[in-house]
Amino acid sequence: MFSLLPPDQPEGEAAFHLAEALPRTPDRGNRAALLQDKVPFLRQRTLALAVAPLARLGIDVLAGQFVYAQRIEDALSRASREKQSCFSFDMLGEGARTAEDAKRNLAKYAVAVAAAGRISPQRHGVSIKLSSIHERYDAPSFPRIRGQLFERLLGLSRAVAASGIGLTIDAEESERLALQLELFAELSAHPELSGWAGLGIAVQAYNTGILRTVERLAAMARLRVACGAAPLCVRLVKGAYWDAEVKRAQELGLEHYPVFTDKRCTDLAYLAAARLLLDETDTLFPQFATHNPITLGCVLALAGTRRMECQRLHGMGESLQRSLRRLAPALVMRVYAPIGPRRDLLAYLLRRLLENGANTSFVRQAACAADLESLPGVKPDVLG
pLDDT averaged over every residue in the chain: 82
What is the pLDDT confidence band of residue 94, given thresholds at 50, 70 and 90? low
Q: What is the chain's length?
A: 384
Which of 85, 120, 128, 89 shows the shortest CA–CA distance to 317? 85
The domain limits of the chain are: 1-66, 68-340
What is the pLDDT, as a whole number, of residue 242?
A: 87
Q: What is the pLDDT of residue 30?
A: 72
First-to-last alpha carbon distance for the chain, in angstroms, is 22
55-64, 217-226, 354-363: which has the minimum mean pLDDT?
354-363
In this predicted model, what pLDDT tens digit does every residue of 201-223 receive, in sequence order?
A: 999 999 999 999 999 999 999 99
306-353 pLDDT, tens digit each: 999 999 999 888 888 888 888 888 898 999 999 988 666 666 766 666
Q: State residue 4's pLDDT score.
A: 42
Confidence of residue 236 (pLDDT cuts 50, 70, 90): very high
> CATH number of the domain at 68-340, please?
3.20.20.220
pLDDT more than 90, % of the chain: 57
Q: Write the DSSP string, 243-265.
A: HHHHHHHHHHT-SS-SB-SSHHH
* pLDDT tens, residue by residue, 176-198: 999 999 999 999 999 999 999 99
Quick one: pLDDT band at residue 376, thresholds 50, 70, 90? very low
Could you tell me the pTM of the whole model? 0.78
Q: Buried b / exposed e across 177-211, counting CB within 10 Å, b at 16+?
A: bebbbebbeebbebeebbebebbbbbbbbbbbbbe
